[in-house]
Amino acid sequence: MKKLVAIAAVLMLVMVGSAIAVLAQGYATQPADAKIVPLGEEGTAYENQEPGVQGGTFYCAAISDPKKWNYVTSHETSTTQYCFLMLKGLVDSNPINSAIEPELAKSWDVSEDGLVLTFHLREGINWSDGTPFTADDVVFSFNDLYYNEDVETDTRDILILPDDTYPVVEKVDDYTVTVTLSMTFRPILNSIGAPILPKHALAQYVHKLNPDVPVGTFNSAWGLDTDPAELVGMGPFMVESYAPDQHVTLVRNPYYYHYDANGTQLPYFDKYVILTVASQDVSLLKFRNGELDALGIRATDVPILKREEAVKDLTVLVDADVAVYGTSWIGINQDIGLADGTYENLRTLYRTRDFRAAMSHLVDKQAMIDTLYNGLAVPQWSPVSYLSPFYAGRDYYGGPVTETDAVVFEYSLDKAAALLDGIGIIDRDGDGWRDYEDGTRVEMELNTNAGNTVREGVSLIVSDRASKIGLKLNFVPVDFNTLVNKLFASTGEMIVLGLTGGNEPNNGANVYSSGGGLHFWHYSAVDEPTELEKKIDELLDAGVSTLDNDEAFEVYKEYQITLAKDDLGLVYTVNPAFTYAFFNKVGNANISSPIATPSGTNGLTMDLCFFK
């Protein structure tokens, strides 16, 4: 009898093992609606790439751990870099030419008046756990997550229309959804590309759908303590394991629906490991030693890697003419101490436009470019990325960058000092440091994320220049996630940080609109916007309300100039040129893209790279 039990147990194990094996195999055959990436095909965006082979583990490094796995509630790239590997939207930007192209939707139609978009979804494709993807997931993602007021998400800010409505997402059948707009909304295809999430895995956390769970439960779903096996996605990779301060390991999603023209399922890599390291120095050392396959480098790394480029068979990619997407800035918290009635002097000072203008004059951009970037950077002044066709340094939509209308606060200690004198911030006791009117010293803390040597360098330059005119600015580096917490709790005084960017200015609505979830330098504007903030809100609305790009360009030009010259919510620093390094054994690494991320490796299109 015991023997029979044992045999039964073995059989059970074999059967369970078989079931798991079937699941892990993914599709039995290539789905009819798979997305084919035409690598190497002439006349396509991918003609300079080549089909690869599956296999291998790709290594890179990051100096920050993720904060969670939940894209919807995330704010920081240390989290979203993983979410974007696990999730996909209805549409996406082509990694090479930025054109909007089909993703989970295989096609779409637009009504004559432009107000109704009908998306035809790919059929026969599955989530990473094998569950079929359907229109229910799309409707769930928008109606129950992004539009759900119980859910904390910045994505609402880029989906909201000027009339305060949202695109209405409705299921027609299992593989068709419509998106209906109440008015013209130029960037709808951009906004509607927000990642789609699995209803079958996440509905249980949404109070609206499951009243048994408290309101807001979803906000803590898919935290770092979640078993990776519970994470479900449609992207190329899924999290296999996570060890704090050590690594995140991702594995190929067996149900990813992208294939190359040879019929090989993507991604090519079996695994993708992101090592957590203490600093960019360690990343550089590990890359030099061959422990990493690619590295987002800084200009100061270029000479070091150039001398090893030929010997170690790597490529140091330097494109001095291409500034990375995104912005680098000093955030001055105008709400500091507002919650508990502290920091009154400092808050008043930070809310004074001329103080922020003085800070702008203290940003020695040329010194930053020369010493931190070896000349491989450009001065930054606008909230819109240099590469965007809407960048106000151009004379017209998509035109060449001329910087004719650039807002320039030239580095000038005299002008900065005069502005501070003008608002009564002077040295009243002769100790060499400037004081408030009540005689107490103006002393401020400047934070950035420790380990980012460039931001640390920016902070040191700014605090040094401030000290030259008697302004006491104490630089204190802190851990990245601590820094992010300071931003959201509104407890940081002054912060050097950056934001990702893209071509579409409206994607900055979550930052620059007065009610934006990332309006971190003045959160109280949601209730009491300044006149300038009201104007910026109006300009953002106007920019999305026209389908004419030339008209939108003029609107966004005024928006950028207003933000940079008058509002000065953020004081911009410099924008680095695109620099990247990878070992030549990595195929298709030349499709790197100038999008700044903590590890730099999202500059690579990870599902297309392979080992030669």
Q: Which residues bind other proteins (CB under 8 A)?
A: 278-279, 281-282, 284-286, 289, 300-311, 313, 318, 371-372, 374-375, 453-454, 457
- Measured from the CB atom, is 57 or 217 closer to other proteins? 57
Smallest separation (angstroms) from other proteins to the CB of 359: 23
CA dihedral 124, 127, 130, 136 (to 10 degrees): -70
Return the closest-CA partner of residue 331 out of 20, 571, 37: 571
Q: How far is CA 219 from the centre of its chain?
A: 19
Backbone angles phi, psi at 10, to 5 degrees: -65, -45
b or e along 130-141 (b: 16 or more beta carbons within 10 Å of the residue's beta carbon)? eeebbbbbbbbb
- Measured from the CB atom, is 209 or 460 closer to other proteins? 460
Smallest separation (angstroms) from other proteins to the CB of 291: 9
Smallest separation (angstroms) from other proteins to the CB of 462: 15
How far is Cα 496 from Cα 379, in angstroms, rounded to an integer?
15
How far is Cα 594 from Cα 108, in angstroms, rounded to an integer?
29
How far is Cα 197 from Cα 176, in angstroms, rounded to an integer?
16
Start-end of H helices in 26-154: 77-86, 135-139
C-beta separation of 479 from 449 below 8 A: yes
For 508, the 3-state DSSP assignment is: helix
Smallest separation (angstroms) from other proteins to the CB of 64: 17
- Measured from the CB atom, is 135 or 446 closer to other proteins? 446
- Measured from the CB atom, is 1 or 310 closer to other proteins? 310
How far is Cα 225 from Cα 217, in angstroms, rounded to an integer?
15
- Measured from the CB atom, is 255 or 373 closer to other proteins? 373
Smallest separation (angstroms) from other proteins to the CB of 485: 25
For 503, the 3-state DSSP assignment is: coil
b or e along 67-98 (b: 16 or more beta carbons within 10 Å of the residue's beta carbon)? bbbbbbbbbbbbbbbbbbbbbbbbbbbebbeb
- Measured from the CB atom, is 234 or 581 closer to other proteins? 581
Smallest separation (angstroms) from other proteins to the CB of 51: 22
- Measured from the CB atom, is 247 or 441 closer to other proteins? 247
How far is Cα 390 from Cα 322, in angstroms, rounded to an integer?
16
- Measured from the CB atom, is 226 or 366 closer to other proteins? 366
Smallest separation (angstroms) from other proteins to the CB of 58: 18
Smallest separation (angstroms) from other proteins to the CB of 311: 6
Return the closest-CA partner of residue 100 out of 112, 111, 90: 90
Rg (CA), the chain: 25
Smallest separation (angstroms) from other proteins to the CB of 534: 42
C-beta separation of 40 from 261 below 8 A: yes
C-beta separation of 365 from 574 below 8 A: yes
Contacts of 493 (CB under 8 A, 6+ apart): 332, 333, 336, 343, 346, 350, 444, 445, 446, 447
How far is Cα 126 from Cα 256, in angstroms, rounded to an integer?
8
Span between the terminal Cα atoms of the chain, in Å: 55
Smallest separation (angstroms) from other proteins to the CB of 592: 19
Smallest separation (angstroms) from other proteins to the CB of 258: 32
- Measured from the CB atom, is 178 or 280 closer to other proteins? 280
- Measured from the CB atom, is 148 or 459 closer to other proteins? 459
How far is Cα 24 from Cα 300, in angstroms, rounded to an integer?
44
- Measured from the CB atom, is 318 or 497 closer to other proteins? 318
Backbone angles phi, psi at 559, to 5 degrees: -60, -45
- Measured from the CB atom, is 278 or 408 closer to other proteins? 278
Smallest separation (angstroms) from other proteins to the CB of 308: 8
- Measured from the CB atom, is 302 or 336 closer to other proteins? 302
Smallest separation (angstroms) from other proteins to the CB of 299: 9
